[in-house]
Amino acid sequence: MPLSDSDRARLDALHDRLCTAKPVSIGYPCNQEFDYSELFRFLQFSINNVGDPFSGSNYRLNTHDFEREVVQDFVRFTQAPPDDYWGYVTNGGTEGNMYGLYVARELFPQGMVYFSEDTHYSVAKILRVQHTRNIMIKSQPNGQLDYEDLHETLRIHRDVPPIIFANIGTTMKGSIDDLAKIRDILEDLAIGESYIHADAALSGMILPFVDKPQPWNFANGADSLSISGHKLLGCPLPCGVVLARKRNVDRIARNVEYVGALDTTISGSRNAMTPLMLWYRLRSLGDEGLRALVQRCLHLARYAVEQLQAKGIDAWRHDENSITVVIPRPPEALMKKWIIAPRKKIAHLITLPPMTEAVIDAFAHEFATMIGTQP
């Protein structure tokens, strides 16, 4: 039965609203330039990736083979040990963080989680859900973990296995916690048992494609890592990838006979479309396309800082690998036009497509005019 005219009008109105919002959405980390029309034919199937993508499932309408290839690409990007990794496509960065903290808690039930002030609020929720003990560590003004506070805190609790939640790109400032420094602190205090989970939601797709990445991945001591799929890559459905060391995952494996799968994932039913979309995106861009995309975003971030500063606006980036441009909180009137996420006294631009130099120029001009710094 066809939709009524009023229902169809509602869909048209939604479409118009989204078309209007897309070009002015400059403060959220979502690449909005993509074309997945080649995959539309798969929407006629009730596909479901229930179970472990590496173990198979009785429910054969799945995309597990594509999911495994996506995971293998991320193994390469994150320098995960080729003979000791496991992972799957999640429904976003938060599920990946939950998985990493779940593995850590299962390994160290008495462990204490340490995370910085600048950590995304969802982590506090995860810790509450998982009933894991936790202490917040101070942040430096640039958003990085305060290593001195971490050192002192670990020194006092050195008999409790530490589970470090490291930010590889904080939400507001794009700051990256240095995994090498964290490992040095653990060694300095002679802490034998520890776990590091890295939340690399946005930067996990940037750092593999820059010349001088910070120490951020498995090669630098991460035990698990979560990366968003819909952020830098761009995908209309939220998704991500989580990777962990297989020897740790094996210890928490549970056999779920109902679906005939050895299921170590968190969900039962899992999205089968997003692995296909990520696979399609990774294959169509290729490593060179990804590098070009990252370089384009970095160029725009540099340009945004220059243009905003030239107009008397105190804009800055955490470092040369960041596409998060931190700005003072804009006037409310400006945020009515542009879609920006403020927090306390700051806000940010994320220079992902469809951002262009022209968009940055327009925003900088309006911002400077409103606060009276327009030269």
Q: Which residues bind another protein (CB under 8 A)?
A: 117, 124, 127-128, 131, 133-138, 146, 148-149, 151-157
Quick one: tokens of 33? 């330039």
CB nearer to another protein: give 10 or 133: 133
CB nearer to another protein: give 60 or 344: 344
Residue type, 252: I
CB nearer to another protein: give 185 or 233: 185
Query: Which sequence positions are flagged as catalytic?
Result: 322
- The conformation of residue 325, written as its DSSP 8-state character, comes to E
CA dist 306 and 308 (Å) reads 6
CA dist 223 and 22 (Å) reads 37
Q: Shortest Cβ distance from residue 137 to another protein (Å)?
A: 8
Q: Shortest Cβ distance from residue 297 to another protein (Å)?
A: 32
CB nearer to another protein: give 157 or 291: 157
Quick one: tokens of 372? 């009276």
HSE-up of residue 254 (Cα within 13 Å, Cβ side): 11
Cβ neighbour number for residue 40 with a 10 Å cutoff:
8
CB 239 within 8 A of CB 95: no
| DSSP string of 109-154, one letter each residue | TT-EEEEETTS-HHHHHHHHHHT--EEEE-B-TTSSB-HHHHHHHH
CB nearer to another protein: give 56 or 342: 342
Residue 165 dihedral angles phi and psi, to the nearest 5°:
-100, 105
Residue of 217, 196, 231, 276 whose CA lies nearest to 94: 231
CA dist 214 and 233 (Å) reads 20
Quick one: tokens of 30? 């979502």
